[in-house]
Structure 1
Amino acid sequence: MSLEDCLIQLDGLSLPASIGIYDHERAAPQPVDIDLLLAIDGTLAVRSDDIRHTVDYDEVVDAIAALLASRHFNLLEHLSQAVLDLLGARFPVRRAEVTIAKPLAVPRARRVSVSRRAEWKREAMKVVAV
């Protein structure tokens, strides 16, 4: 982690998803719980107090919800990569960690989850004195 990094956590996001390999999972959406950790260059945001210099959490949630609504996913592993690909393509994140859980997957378990992380090379923001 560099000095200018800001860590943004979004925990406990619950969204419907068509996910799974079994017929009953394909028949109806089920909830998935998503935890995100996003590392952004916070150089400007910490000084400007301007949403344009950070990640808009609502936009992140809307983008993930749209991804989940767009198609069926067989595996949590594949879905977690699709979420990372989306975050890297649409948002100014340096690093991201995602954990996606299916709370209804195994009746005798609280949940089943997959965690993945990715990193992107981004140019550092510059603070300009005015």
Structure 2
Amino acid sequence: MDRVFIEGLKVDALIGVYDWEREILQPLEFDIEMATDIRPAAADDELSLTLDYFSISQAITELVKNSSYKLIETLAESVSELIREKFGVCWVKVKVSKPGAVPNARNVAVQIERGNLAPNTAESSQ
């Protein structure tokens, strides 16, 4: 399975559990890794046959700007669901970073993986 990456996507978000965090926008950074088969796109040099990282980036940005989650864990889940459902990705890794959230730490982050890289043998044998 091939991989498509979006790294360092920066979006300001209303996120956090403290009252003061609910009143300001805070910078988040997203690193996304998606599994797909890029051979058809490579063979035909055709964008419609692969993952359009510009469209995916726009969809993530829109989701984040229209949300107000308390936890980056919840946001990571929502981003992974969006990518898998809207763009038909079978497996995704999402890292959400919240730089400067903790004093004396450059960054805090969560990273999740959702989906399956291996073909479902039960379905493929039917």
Alignment partner, residue 17 of structure 2: 21
Tell me the alpha carbon deviations over residues 1-26 of structure 1, each in whole angstroms, 9 at most, x when there is no partner.
Answer: xxxx2211111111111110011211
Compute the TM-score of the two structures, normalised by the length of structure 2.
0.88
Pick one of 69, 79, 85 that aligns with 1:73. 69
1:37 lines up with 2:33 in the alignment: yes
How well do the aligned residues superpose, as a CA RMSD in angstroms? 1.5
Paired-residue identity, %: 33
Structure 1 alignment gaps of length 5 or more: 124-130
Deviations 1:75-123 (A, max 9, x none): 01100000000001111312110100100211210111000011158x9
Misfit runs of 4+, over 6 Å: none
Q: Which has the higher helix share?
A: 2
Give ranges in structure 2 of 5+ residues lacking alignment. 120-126
Q: What is the match of residue 2 of structure 2?
A: 6
Q: TM-score, normalised by structure 1?
A: 0.85
1:33-74 deviations in Å (ceiling 9; x for gaps): 110111112231121110000111111111001101112010
| Residues 48-63 of structure 1: pairs in structure 2 closer than 5 A | 48-63=44-59
Distance 1:36 1:107 in 2: 26
